[in-house]
């Protein structure tokens, strides 16, 4: 996982309780994220490599890195499909 991602330019981020809502202002597409998804988005905003994000989450939640990697890739794919995330 060496691909770099970024949030698209026309996106609004709103925190609601422990969740983050991403809204594409051009398409109206939106996506709600739980706290792990929020951690992913915040790490992407800070240009942290995906490999490091996976390792951090694996250590933090004591989950095997392979499991975290699969879950993170599924979430990234969903955010790409919703046009909320782009490949850099």
CATH of the domain at 56: 3.90.930
12-58 pLDDT per residue, tens: 999 988 789 999 999 998 899 999 999 999 999 999 999 999 999 99
- 15: number of Cβ within 10 Å: 10
Domain count, the chain: 1
Q: Which residue segment(s) compose the domain that 63 sits in?
A: 5-87
CB atoms within 10 A of CB 87: 9
Q: Is the pTM of this model over 0.85?
A: yes
Angle, CA 4 vertex, CA 87 and CA 30 arms, to 5°: 50
pLDDT of 29: 87
pLDDT band with cut points at 50, 70 and 90 for residue 60: very high
């Amino acid at each position: 996982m060496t691909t770099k991602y970024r949030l698209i330019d026309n996106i609004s981020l709103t925190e609601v309780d422990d969740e983050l809502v991403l809204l594409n202002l051009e398409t109206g597409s939106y996506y709600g994220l739980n706290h792990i998804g929020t951690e992913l988005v915040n790490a992407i905003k800070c240009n942290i490599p995906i490999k490091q994000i996976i390792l951090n989450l694996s250590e933090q939640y004591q989950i095997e890195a392979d499991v975290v990697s699969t879950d993170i890739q599924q979430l990234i794919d969903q955010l790409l499909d919703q046009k909320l995330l782009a490949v850099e």
